[in-house]
Amino acid sequence: MLEAIEGSQAIARAVAMCRPDVVAAYPITPQTHIVEALSRLVAEGEMHTEFVSVESEFSAASVVLGAAATGARAYTATASQGVLLMAEVLFNISGMRVPLVMTVANRAVSAPLSIWNDHSDSMAVRDCGWIQLHCADNQEAVDTTIQAFRISQETELPVMVCMDGFVLTHTLEPIEMPDQTDIDGWLPPLEFDRRLDPSDPKSLGTLVSPDFFAEVRHSHHAAMIRALDVIETVDDDWHAMTGRRGGGLVEVAGDPEAKIGILAMGSTFGTLETGMEHAGAQAGRARLIKLRAFRPFPAAALRAACAGLEHLIVIDRAISPGLGGVVGTEVAAVLAGAPDAPRIHNHALGLGGRDIPETIYADLMTAVADPDGPAFSVFDADLTKLDPEDR
């Protein structure tokens, strides 16, 4: 049923529909509304789960790791500093290859302190071995959350569902909320063969000598690559039931014949779409590429999405100081071998919650026409605010 509902409330209800056995979380802005709503659903008897209130994100991650290792369906959510405090456990969760789902309400990372949205938090744990999916709107976030439980149990890999903090979590908009009965039929019970079981003792995450460590990492990488197919087939299966797609690996909109493409992850995409509609003929039309699966990185799908482009603007919502943009660098790497690979124009923007206006589309299209434009910039930084030596 279509409802006008805040993103966080919708996520909590989507999680509840997946009937997790264990939820553990520590509140942090802008994730708080999600776990508050889950806590309320439990208190009101509408959700039956072991809700564990913990004293930190490290504990939240540890609780869901332990729960998932016993074969329980487990869920947590966090943001920003919470992601970083979890970081050690996130590697353990994926290294032990236990299925669970976490929402990241994307937020900048200190210092300086910012409660506002960018992708610094999930980008900081880029290599933690989790599947990482980015949502462009709250409908995608709801659909992706439910899909994540299935992707996770089919791959035995943890899934991080990233949604822009405030921009999505605190936005009320119409969302098609699935029916519980549909989800019950669509999401089979979790059966985790390697679960910890006192009647069949085994160990997870033990010391591995150099004789086997490389093989463990190889198999983790291979499992992530295999997950590319799972992400697509789960989205197809979701489409078959709901008529909606969650975004697959990569989605393309705008003008398929355009020679200029703009690639973005997350909620920036809708602003680009609107900006293009309103920009008029002078700015021209671009091919808009929405990257949903950041890990595993969909190299083949990206090559197909970018075929025929002469210029590709890649938007990063975080910065790797001393390098530039991570998404831009990675996209450039997978396109490097392609014939007629487009020139990459990598721009970080919207850092620390800086508002991204719809005029960003026309501004990016103007910048791309400059043959002397930089390969990377913090696009919306006002350098006049800085001392000359910092510009």
Of the pair 170, 220, the CB lying nearest another protein is at 170
Task: By CB under 8 A, tell whether 232 contacts another protein.
Answer: no
The strand pairing partners of 345, in sequence order, are 313
Residues 91 and 127 sit within 8 Å (Cβ to Cβ): no
Task: By CB under 8 A, tell whether 106 contacts another protein.
Answer: no
Cα separation, 90 vs 101, in Å, equals 11
**Pairing label, strands 22-25, 50-53:** parallel
Of 52, 87, 154, 170, the one binding another protein by CB under 8 A: 170
Quick check: helix, strand or coil at residue 294?
Answer: strand
Q: What minimum distance in Å lies between the beta carbon of 104 and another protein? A: 18
Of the pair 36, 173, the CB lying nearest another protein is at 173
Q: How far is CA 229 from the centre of its chain?
A: 17
Of the pair 174, 374, the CB lying nearest another protein is at 174
Task: By CB under 8 A, tell whether 267 contacts another protein.
Answer: yes
Buried b (16+ CB within 10 A) or exposed e, 206-217: eeeeeeeeeeee
Category of 317 on φ-ψ map: left (φ > 0), alpha (ψ -120 to 50) or beta: alpha
Task: By CB under 8 A, tell whether 271 contacts another protein.
Answer: yes
Q: What minimum distance in Å lies between the beta carbon of 240 and another protein? A: 23
Task: By CB under 8 A, tell whether 274 contacts another protein.
Answer: yes
Of the pair 170, 343, the CB lying nearest another protein is at 170
Provide the token pair at 60: 């939240």
Task: By CB under 8 A, tell whether 375 contacts another protein.
Answer: no
Q: Which of residues 109-148 bind another protein (CB under 8 A)?
A: 115, 137
Task: By CB under 8 A, tell whether 172 contacts another protein.
Answer: yes
For 94, other C-beta atoms within 10 Å of its C-beta total 25
Q: Which of 235, 248, 68, 49 is nearest to 150 (CA)?
A: 235
Of the pair 139, 153, the CB lying nearest another protein is at 139
Q: Which of residues 3-22 bind another protein (CB under 8 A)?
A: 4, 6
Q: Which of residues 333-372 bind another protein (CB under 8 A)?
A: 355-358
Cα separation, 191 vs 188, in Å, equals 9
Residues 265 and 239 sit within 8 Å (Cβ to Cβ): no
Q: Which of residues 56-95 bind another protein (CB under 8 A)?
A: none
Q: Applying CB under 8 A, which residues contact another protein?
A: 4, 6, 29, 115, 137, 164, 166-167, 170-174, 267-268, 270-271, 273-275, 355-358
